[in-house]
Amino acid sequence: MSAVCIEFKPGLEGIPATQSSISYVDGQQGILEYRGTNIEELAKKSSFLETAYLLIWGNLPSKEELDSFQEDIRYHRRIKYRIRDMMKCFPETGHPMDALQASAAALGLFYSRRALDNPEYIRFAVVRLLAKIPTMVAAFQLMRKGNDPVQPRDDLDYAANFLYMLNEKEPDPLAAKVFDVCLTLHAEHTINASTFSAMVTASTLTDPYAVIASAVGTLAGPLHGGANEDVITMLSEIGSVENVRPYLEKCLETKAKIMGFGHRVYKVKDPRAIILQEIAVELFEKFGYDKYYEIALEMEKAVEEKLGHRGIYPNVDFYSGLVYRKLGIPSDLFTPVFAIARVAGWLAHWKEQLAANRIFRPTQIYTGEHNVYYTPIQER
Ligand code: CMC
């Protein structure tokens, strides 16, 4: 086929990059399934670690399998003192996503054997990454404030332990439950930018720590996972319900993107945003309302009036920040928290990629010149 016959799709929109049985999205009907099970059902009935097991190993675990998976993760939560010391040298003004990317990559220095055909190596890479990423996020948060990191607590489950390590106090049971649901909702979402990045890196047969570090770097951008932090900045800039419509008009005039709205696949309200809004309200009822919620509701209404006909509705990032704020999570940790959850999906895709690997090597349409004369420097 000659190059001119190849159709170029910016952002590879609509081009299948893989065959996958991990998750499914119907963007017209607002359906998201993990391994065939609806996200609403998993959010209500499962837990993050059970869902991670489902995504990564392809089936729901038996009671024994889940107990042993949770136990392994509990055992591996601590991070090596050298990683902690390395993180202490990071500038406290640096973004926590950069700290996380560097720390995830550094894990590869300790577990560098690339035994990708050894099921035990795969199992422990999965366990280590799920176990250590939350500890690293919490450790950076405490160390940038000048405090020592808090050791994980074996008597707390995954979500409660993270909130404990972050806030240095045991969380309220509702807060821990809600955080676990947030992790479940963010665990996987088909071939988005960071997952694709993970798959490309995986396809070179490098180690899983490099795979996750590369995905973390991709998630950090404001068009992807970074939008949750920008939503709170936007709500704070708007400041009051009365300012919502003038703010929106200005965005429309200047063609600025409204953070937390729009999606490449969903053309209706993201099903995860619906659940996140419900749990935000649950938290507000117990711990008091957040002033930004009224602004967010008005923003949703106004955007729907202006852009709903173009399929622009709230995405997962619109309400997640309101939930995280109520859980005491600082806004620049929203994206690292997204990463804690998405490690499950990235690892599932890493395993799927290895099972039928071919290195990614797409083509391009060359738009440059040919046979250009080399101009000596004196003549330029
Ligand atoms: N505000 C205003 N206009 C928008 C928005 C928005 N949030 N989203 C899309 N549009 C418009 C866009 O201007 C474009 O208009 P036109 O055709 O006139 O140029 C049209 O809709 C298509 O937008 P696009 O940016 O070409 O669509 P895309 O599929 O490439 O991008 C997106 C999807 C999520 C990057 C985009 O909707 C966006 O930038 N949203 C704001 C950032 C955001 O909330 N990101 C989180 C995404 S969901 C979670 C995740 O991926 O991590």
Within-domain flag for 63: yes
Residue 258 Cβ contacting ligand 1 at under 6 Å: yes
Per-residue pLDDT at 114: 79
293 assigned to some structural domain: yes
14 in a structural domain: no
pLDDT of residue 226: 87
Q: What is the pLDDT of residues 159-209, one digit of tens each?
A: 999 999 999 999 999 999 999 999 999 999 999 999 999 999 999 999 999
Separation CA 133–CA 212 (nearest Å): 10
C-alpha to C-alpha distance for 312 and 71, rounded to whole angstroms: 42
Stretch (H or E) spanning 232: helix 227-238
Closest-CA residue to 77 (of 303, 366, 340): 340
Most distant CA atoms of the chain, gap in Å: 75
Q: Are residues 64 and 158 in the same domain?
A: yes
Write out the catalytic residue numbers: 263, 317
In the block, residue with structure tokens 């960071």: 194
User: How many whole angstroms separate alpha carbon 193 and alpha carbon 198?
Assistant: 9
**pLDDT tens string 47-77:** 999 999 999 999 999 999 999 999 999 999 9
**224 Cβ below 6 A of ligand 1:** yes
CA 257 to centroid of ligand 1, rounded, Å: 7
pTM above 0.85? yes
Enclosing domain of residue 113: 42-223+341-355
Confidence check: pLDDT of 112 > 80: no
Answer yes or no: is 195 within a domain: yes
Q: Is 14 in the pocket of ligand 1 (CB under 6 A)?
A: no
Q: Is the pLDDT of residue 221 over 70?
A: yes
Nearest CA to ligand 1 atom 39: 223
Ligand 1 centre to CA of 94 (Å) is 27
Whether residues 252 and 203 share a domain: the answer is no
Residue 237 lies in a domain: yes
CB 259 near ligand 1, within 6 Å: yes
**Is 369 domain-assigned?**
no
Burial class from Cβ neighbours inside 10 Å (0-12, 13-18, 19+) for residue 4 reads exposed
Pocket of ligand 1 contains residue 321 by CB under 6 Å: no
> What CATH number is attached to the domain comprising 182?
1.10.580.10
Cα of 179 vs centre of ligand 1, distance in Å, is: 27
The CB of 314 under 6 Å from ligand 1? The reply is no
Q: Is residue 317 within 6 Å of ligand 1 at its C-beta?
A: yes
pLDDT at 349 over 70: yes
Residue whose CA is at the smallest distance from ligand 1 atom 32: 263
Least confident of 104-118, 195-209, 352-366: 104-118
In 3-state terms the chain splits into helix, strand, coil percentages (rounded to 5) of 60, 5, 35
> Is the domain of 185 the same as that of 233?
no
Tell me the CA end-to-end span of the chain in Å, nearest whole number.
Answer: 38
Mutate to test the pocket of ligand 1, among 234, 299, 312, 346 (most ligand atoms within 8 A of CB): 312
Whether residue 298 lies inside any domain: the answer is yes
CA of 260 from ligand 1 middle (Å) equals 9
Q: How far is the CA of 345 from the centre of ligand 1 (A)?
A: 23
The answer on 306 and 216 residing in a single domain is no
Residues 304/258, Cβ–Cβ less than 8 Å: no
The count of domains in the chain is 2
